[in-house]
């Protein structure tokens, strides 16, 4: 019987940026490549093939991007490494994947990228013009008909606060209930782009994409803004609008009681 104590570990927080087009999302899967697998294999190579596991602040679906996802990773404590070396070393082994570490910082073993988080923030981008995208292909939702951003904002306002979001919840969602508190949902036009940003402590599976797809009907003037309130109160996904494509969605930030990357 082996009574040896478990090896000492050190926990690191990592901030990620990635293009999710060629991946099945964050979570490891048996037969397809995920962001989690790419990251853990790169970190394992940095730490001489030792197994490395990561926990994320929020999962992403296939095709969804990130510019500010935070994960934590436990590594052997016997390897002395600086934050810059951690970032640059993993980034070296991540090539040629479009996944990079923006920042790295040591944290306590009690700190958790998922459970310590106070809020998550997403941005959805719509390219609203007749011509298809070129440079932004795969990172926007191309909608040809003109969208009324002001009407969309009026509809979005009905979703703010604490509600049962069953009408915007994917059938495969595994959350125990659909009650969520939506702190922000802002819609602005910037030239040919419609920018939608939303923030909450947590989101249901496909909630953001389903809200965007439903709001697009308001923007096309197929629905009046007040219809959003009716759909919300119905608690029936069948009454909502379409699910917006994954490519327009980006995980842009997560908040903690104290920023682990802040230099003191």
- Is position 164 annotated as part of the catalytic site? no
Helix/strand/coil for 229: helix
Q: How far apart are CA 125 and CA 192, in angstroms?
A: 10
Per annotation, catalytic residue among 61, 74, 164, 183: 61
Q: How many C-beta neighbours within 10 Å does residue 43 have?
A: 24
Q: How many C-beta neighbours within 10 Å does residue 83 have?
A: 16
Q: Which residues contact 258 (CB under 8 A, 6 or more apart)?
A: none
Q: How far apart are CA 92 and CA 135, in angstroms?
A: 26
Q: How far apart are CA 74 and CA 110, in angstroms?
A: 11
Cβ atoms of 252 and 198 within 8 Å: the answer is no
Cβ atoms of 244 and 61 within 8 Å: the answer is no
Catalytic residues: 61
């Amino acid at each position: 019987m082996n009574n040896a104590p478990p090896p000492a570990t050190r926990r690191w927080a990592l901030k990620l940026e990635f293009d999710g087009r060629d991946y099945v999302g964050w979570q490891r899967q048996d037969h397809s490549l995920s962001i989690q697998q790419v990251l853990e294999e790169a970190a394992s190579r940095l730490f001489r093939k030792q197994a490395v596991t990561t926990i994320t602040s929020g999962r992403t679906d296939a095709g969804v991007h990130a510019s500010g996802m935070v994960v934590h990773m436990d590594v052997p404590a016997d390897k002395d490494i600086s934050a810059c070396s951690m970032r640059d070393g993993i980034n070296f082994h991540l090539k040629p994947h479009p996944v990079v570490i923006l920042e790295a910082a040591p944290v306590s073993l009690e700190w958790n990228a998922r459970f310590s988080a106070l809020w998550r923030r997403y941005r959805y981008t719509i390219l609203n013009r007749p011509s298809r995208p070129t440079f932004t292909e795969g990172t926007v939702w191309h909608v040809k008909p003109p969208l009324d951003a002001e009407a969309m904002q009026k509809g979005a306002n009905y979703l703010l606060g604490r509600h049962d979001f069953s009408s915007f919840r994917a059938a495969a969602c595994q959350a125990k209930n659909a009650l969520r508190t939506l702190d922000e949902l802002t819609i602005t036009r910037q030239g040919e782009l419609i920018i939608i940003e939303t923030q909450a402590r947590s989101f249901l599976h496909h909630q953001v994409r389903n809200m965007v797809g439903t709001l697009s009907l308001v923007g096309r003037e197929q629905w009046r803004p007040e219809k959003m309130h009716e759909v919300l109160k119905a608690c029936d996904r069948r009454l909502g609008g379409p699910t917006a494509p994954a490519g327009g969605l980006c995980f842009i930030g997560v908040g903690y009681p104290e920023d682990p990357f802040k230099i003191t």
